Structures are given as C-alpha cells and as structure tokens.
Chains A and B, each alone.
Chain A
Amino acid sequence: MTRNDADIPPPHPEVRGESGDHPLIGSTVHGPLAHMDHEDAVGTGLDKRTLTAARLGLHTMPAHEPTLASAAVTVWNTFDFGAVRVRPFPYFMKVTHDIAVEAEGLVKSFKKTKALQGVSFQVPRGKVLGVLGPNGAGKTTAVRILATLLRADAGRAIVAGHDVARYPAEVRKRVGLTGQYASIDEELTGRENLRMIGELLNMRVSVAAARAKELLEWFDLTDAADRSAKTYSGGMRRRLDLAASLTGHPEIVFLDEPTTGLDPAKREDMWDVVRDIVSTGTSVLLTTQYLEEADALADDIVVINYGEVIAHDTAENLKRITGTQTLRVRPADLSREGQVRDILLGVGTPGTSVDTPRPGDFAVPVTDHRALARAVAALEANDIEVTEMSLMLPSLDEVFFTLTGERQKPPASTEETEEVAS
C-alpha cells in the first residue's frame, strides 16, 4: 500500500487570539513577552509555565474553575453511562492544541508503593516524547493515568485538550493505547478484533470492516487475518494491538514499552511503524527502558526514576550529560592485549582508563566522534585481528548513574511493573 500525502488534510486552523477568552482554550501570549526569559519575568506576575509556553509559542492550558455544572459532569463521569457526551467547545469551533499531552504534578500511590510523586511533562503536538526509566519507575502508571485507566491522587493531566479526570470520554475518543501486554482477544481472529474495536468506536459495520482491512494490510497481518490471535507470534500480537489502538485515528497514541520482549529485528520493524504513525501527524508518548529506543524515536526524553522526573531533555543533550559512548573491542589474539589497551587509551576520553567488562573484552569511554575510525585505523596498522568491535550508547544504567549518582538494581522481571500498576 502506498502512502499518499495528498490525502492528509491540512491541520485545522488554530483557535487563537479572538477566542482567548474562552475559559477552556486559554490565551496565546503575543509580542515582546514571547522573548522574555524567566529572569525577566520576575515581578510581572506571570507564572513560569505561561512564560515557558510563551517562549515556545505554545498555548497554555488554564486551570478549570469548578462549577456546579462541572461537578455534575464529574458525578456523571464517575458512573460513565456513556449516553451523554460532554462537548466543552461550541460545535462550530474546531480546536487544535499545540500541546497534545500535558501532565502536571501527577501523584499516584498504591498500597505500598508511591508510583508517582509529582510527575510533569508535555508532549507537543505531532512530536514524540520518550519516557525513559527502569522497571517500576512509574512509566506505566503515568500512561494509564493519561489514558484514563487510572485516576491520579493529585495533579492534573490535559490530553488532547481535555482534562482526563473530568472529561475521560472526550479523551478516550482521541487517544489510542498500546500496553505492555497485548490487549487483544486471543480467541478472536485478528480481523474480528479490529472490526469489533471499529464497531465499538461507532463505525458502521462496513466502515469498520474496511478499516480493519486497511490496518491489517498496513501491519502486514493480512495473511494471518482470519486466524485466531492465539496462534500469533509475540511480534504479530504487538502489531495487532497497535493496529487496534489506531483504529479510530487517534490524535495521540500511548505506547507503553512497545518493544519489550521483541527480538532486535522485530524491534526495528516496530520503530518503523512508530515513525509511520508520527508521519501522519499523530503525537506519541512512548515509554521505554532503552535509551537507544528513545534516541531512535523521541524528539524529547523524560527520564523518570522512583516516580520522579530526574531529567527532561533531548536525546542529544542527554547523551552529552551522560558524557560518553563506549568503544568495545574483542581481539582475536589475547596476547595482543597490551597493544589493544594502548590503542584504546589513545582514542579514549582523556583521563579515563580501559575497562574489561568481560574477559577478553576491552572497553573505553569515548567522546571524540572520530574515535571509532581512529581505533580501526590503529588496529589495522598494528595488524591486530578483531572478532568484535562496537560503539555503544551509554546504557540506561549509565544515564541513571550520571543523573542520580547511584547504580540501579538489575532490572527485575517485567511482572513487577504490572504489579505496581494494578
């Protein structure tokens, strides 16, 4: 199937300026303020968030004042009878938001654990935010709150322009969620799964069938479409799950560890799919344990640990903070160890030493982007045969070590995250 860009309608016109009075839309800050720094703003009475938004040219999401009507809506939503849809905007307004997801001070505790202790971040529209953290850091909890599956104890989250606590139905219409474990019905076929989701999204039966067909083709599941999902491989289940999340053309997709448990080739495939999704203008919030994955996909990375954000930056900067990549060499002949060590010392970051991560392997932190080429040249010049050689990104562990100064416990079984979230 070919992708046809002409079919993608242009984004809706923004609601700006003139509708700035609308309590739910908020105001766009124009003029000199847009260039103000936090320091300049001292005494202007503007809060930091407004200014940050102004600098970035973004809207801010104002706090909602509770009213009698909103209280009634909250009660209604608690039982969620589903028959009434809240429409906070007049029907003629087409609203788009520059910020797809905004989490502010999210707090969530389970019986024993504090899963989130005030987590804030934003996903700009059409961008990918990577939420990076080890097992049990609170990633899944955060995603589940944003996807309206859990309620936060405190804090606020605006997703696709709607408060998740107050307008969950509106949020659900606009998001897709792919969890850590495939949320599909194993006893149904792939096609039946997708058609069911389509029909639950109020598509006509024929439209749902067409959409299912389209998705099955996109995700390369056509051949397996009429087999029960029980017979699918792990990678196929993930793809079906992702297809299910995309059935209703969501504005925002939450991907909770989409590649955990997949082999490297399947992982690359999944990355391509994520890039495809982003190319259609969808915003993505992706959680992962792999810096490599966040680096490959995300525009911005939030690092969380023990339910707290410990860094929020681009992948590039994060790698810079963490410093270094690692150059690892495994010589074929161990008697050349001395020479290998000398070569590595020569290309490594000054002041560091050669490490032996496992017997026969020699590793050195490198900062110079030419380090790999120089090492190869030196090995060649000395006629040293090498069985393995790699340049590796800093691992999550190293990122954490740099950010927190403490080593992470070795990753526990994946069940633990689930335990925390349930």
Chain B
Amino acid sequence: MTASATHRVETLPNGPLDLIRHSWVLAKRSLVKTWRTPEVLVDVTLSPIMFALLFTYIFGGAIAGSTSDYLPLLITGLIGQNIAFASVGIGIQLNADIEKGIFDRFKSLPISRIAPLFGAALGDIVRYVLLIAIMLGTGYALGYRLGTDVWRFLAGVALAMLFALCLAWAPMLVGLLARNERAVQGIVFMTLFPLTFASNAFVPTESMPGWLKAFADGNPLSHLIQALRALWNDPSLPEAMSNNGHWQTPVAWTLGWCAIFVVVFAPLAIRAYNRRS
C-alpha cells in the first residue's frame, strides 16, 4: 500500500466546469444501471405501444370517424401523455437513492448539491429519446405520417425533450419529499391523470364543459401537444389536429411552462435535497 493520507493525488483543477463534469459522471451511473436492468424501460417502450394500440382501435372510430383519421391526434397526444407518465421514474429513482444511503455519499463529497439531480435528469434523456422513437415507430406502423419537413420534426423532438426535462423537476421534488417509492408513484400519478386526460391529448377540447375546457386549454400538456401537432402534422388537417400549422403560439406557451416548472420546482427540489438527510 503506497497510498498515504496526507498525500493528495493528482486531480483536475476545480472550476466552473465541475458541475457539468460531475453531472455527467452521475448520468453515466444512471445509464449503467438502466443498461443492467432494461426492465425499467418498460414504461417508455412497451406501455406506449400498448396505449397506442388500445386507443387507436377503441376510440379511433368513435372520436374521429376512423382509426386512420384519429392517428394525427392520438400519436402526438400519446407522446405528451407518456412524457408526463415517464417522469415518475426519476422521482422513484431519487427516492430509492435516498433510501439506500447513496445520497449521503454524494452529499459528503465536494461536489455541487445540484449535480446528483442534474445527473439523474441527464441520464433520463435516453428514456425520452427512446419513448419518442417508439411512439413514432408504432404510429408509423399503424398508418401515421408526418406532414412537414425534417426541421420542423426535429424542432418538435427538441421541444418535447426540453419539456420532459423541465417537467421532471416536479416528480424529483416529490421523490425527495415522499417517504417511500410507493408514495412517490401514488402522488405523481394522482396529479398526472387529471393533467393528461383533461387535455387535448385524446379528444378535441370543444366537447368539454366550459370550466373543464378552460382547464384543458391552459394545461401545459395541451400546449406541448398542440405545438407538436402544429410542427409535425399536415397543416391541411382540421384545426384541432394541426393548428393550421401555426406553431409559434403553442411553442411560446410550452416554453413559458418549461420556465415555470424550472423556476418553481428546481429551487424547491434543491432545498428538499439539502434538507433531506
């Protein structure tokens, strides 16, 4: 054993890049764990496929007249819904980390207190990419076709990812506050169900009663879904499915909601992380 306590090993200099580097190291940790237990990806792989099949054939005829006419509405709606549902994973992961004591280790290291949270979010990007790819693939198999150019398509993907990462702060907060994983799951889903169904994800909001329509139209998920429809779908489709190609307003609303999520939930999550011991 040649090591000695008073001898410090060669380390990289401290600097503003530390946070990025540490977050990356911790994101690698999440990725390795996902790779080892691919079952955790079920919520972004198999369950979206299941939703797509069920909804297309159950609601398609009733809502849009035919299953193929329903797809431009449904696929974008499902991406919004599943992004929201997938965010529960990060809350559960943080909660498990606390329970198992690994966060004590991170807290006793000279790294930023935000790094473990950033790392977890960064590691989740893979999940969202997978989710969007699988959703579009399933849609394609069922007959869904993008109606715009590649740039608008990529802009939609980027917007969906950004939304996912900003929304993730809310389940992170729940994960840091709740006492166990089951509580995290219960609390997050309880909030997400009204948020996903009282939206424009599966049906046009016009048929809802006034108060519910107001809620559904203001719902952050509705804005995201509307933005995706405007960016991806053929502008000649009915307004509920394409917003006639006018993407600027829903994108602005979506970005606004992203900012609100971060401004409200990120400081609360950091505070909860610092307090939780």
The residues of A with any CB-CB pair to B shorter than 8 Å are: 1-4, 7-9, 11-12, 78-83, 85, 144, 147-150, 169-170, 172-173, 175-177, 179, 181-188, 192, 196-197, 199-204, 207, 211, 214, 218, 228, 244, 248-251, 276-277, 280-282, 421-422
Contacts and interface: CB of A to CB of B under 8 A. Distances in A.
A202 to B, nearest CB: 4
Contacts of A200: 22, 25-26, 106, 109, 111, 115
A183 B11 CA distance: 23
B277 A144 contact: yes
B12 interface: yes
A81 B104 contact: no
Contact of B9 (A2, A192, A249): A249
A218 B11 contact: no
Given A83-B19, A277-B5, A280-B5, 7 more contacts: A7-B7, A82-B114, A149-B107, A169-B110, A203-B11, A214-B3, A280-B4
Nearest to A150: B277
A85 B277 contact: no
B4 A8 contact: yes
- The 7 lowest CB-CB distance pairs between A and B, nearest first, are A82-B112, A183-B105, A282-B5, A8-B4, A172-B110, A280-B5, A202-B11
A244 B105 CA distance: 9
A108 B260 CA distance: 36
A207 B36 CA distance: 25
A8 B111 contact: no
B1 A218 contact: yes
Contact of B18 (A188, A202, A228): A202
B191 interface: no
Contacts of B33: 185, 187-188
Contacts of A79: 113, 270
Contacts of B104: 149, 177, 179, 183
9 contacts: A4-B2, A8-B4, A80-B112, A149-B107, A149-B108, A207-B10, A276-B1, A277-B5, A280-B5
B105 A184 contact: yes
Interface of B: 1-16, 18-19, 21-22, 25-26, 28-29, 32-33, 36-37, 100-115, 270, 274, 276-277
Contact of B277 (A185, A277, A422): A422
Nearest to B19: A82
Contacts of B1: 1-4, 214, 218, 276
Most buried by A among B12, B101, B111, B114: B101
Contacts of A211: 3, 9
Given A80-B112, A187-B33, A249 B5 contact: yes
Contacts of B28: 196
Most buried by A among B8, B9, B108: B108
Contact of A82 (B11, B102, B111): B111
Contacts of A85: 14
A277 B105 CA distance: 19
A48 B130 CA distance: 66
A73 to B, nearest CB: 15
A280 B6 contact: yes
A41 to B, nearest CB: 34
Contact of B102 (A3, A183, A204, A207): A183
A81 B112 contact: yes
Most buried by A among B36, B100, B114: B100
Given A149-B108, A183-B101, A80 B113 contact: yes
Nearest to B109: A200
A381 to B, nearest CB: 50
A147 B107 CA distance: 9
A207 B4 CA distance: 15
A1 B2 CA distance: 8
Contacts of A80: 112-114, 274
Contacts of A170: 110
Given A82-B22, A169-B110, A177-B108, A250 B101 contact: no
Contacts of A422: 276-277
Contacts of B8: 248-249
Given A82-B19, A83-B15, A196-B29, A7 B115 contact: no
A182 B112 contact: no
A222 B249 CA distance: 59
Contacts of B26: 196, 200
Contact of B29 (A2, A176, A182, A185): A185
Given A80-B112, A172-B108, A207-B10, A192 B4 contact: no
B7 A184 contact: no
Given A183-B101, A187-B36, A421-B277, A204 B3 contact: no
B3 A196 contact: no
A175 B5 contact: no
Nearest to B104: A183
A187 B6 contact: no
Contacts of B14: 85, 202
Most buried by A among B5, B103, B276: B5
